[in-house]
């Protein structure tokens, strides 16, 4: 069973992968509307990533034994 910290970190890694994929699609997309949709999605996920990174920092501060996992 994963700890909350491990689950949050796993989710964070997944979201970073999704953001990278959206950024790639935005770069190769020919349709301007679709390109903007991909870019917008990547920006929104970036905000969520920032929030989760703060949460990971708080979790590691509260539970130092999980730092680095």
Q: Would 54 be classed as within a structural domain?
A: yes
Confidence of residue 16 (pLDDT cuts 50, 70, 90): very high
Kindly list the distances between the CA atom of residue 37 and the CA atoms of 7, 12, 22, 23, 31, in Å, as whole numbers in the listed order. 28, 21, 9, 10, 10
Does the structure show a pLDDT above 90 at 66? Answer: no
Q: Would 23 be classed as within a structural domain?
A: yes
Confidence of residue 38 (pLDDT cuts 50, 70, 90): very high
pLDDT, position 61: 83
Q: Would 68 be classed as within a structural domain?
A: no
Q: Would 66 be classed as within a structural domain?
A: no
Tell me how many domains the chain contains.
1
Q: Would 15 be classed as within a structural domain?
A: yes
Q: Would 69 be classed as within a structural domain?
A: no
Show the domain range for 19.
Answer: 4-61
What predicted TM-score, i.e. pTM, was given to this entire model? 0.84
pLDDT, position 5: 82
Token digits for 13? 């890694």
């Amino acid at each position: 069973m994963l700890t909350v910290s491990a689950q949050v970190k796993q989710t964070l890694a997944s979201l970073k992968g999704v953001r990278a994929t959206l950024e790639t699609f935005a770069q190769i997309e020919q349709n301007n509307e679709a390109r903007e949709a991909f870019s917008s999605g990547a920006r929104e996920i970036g905000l969520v990533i920032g929030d989760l990174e703060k949460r990971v920092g708080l979790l590691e501060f509260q539970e130092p034994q999980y730092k680095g996992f």
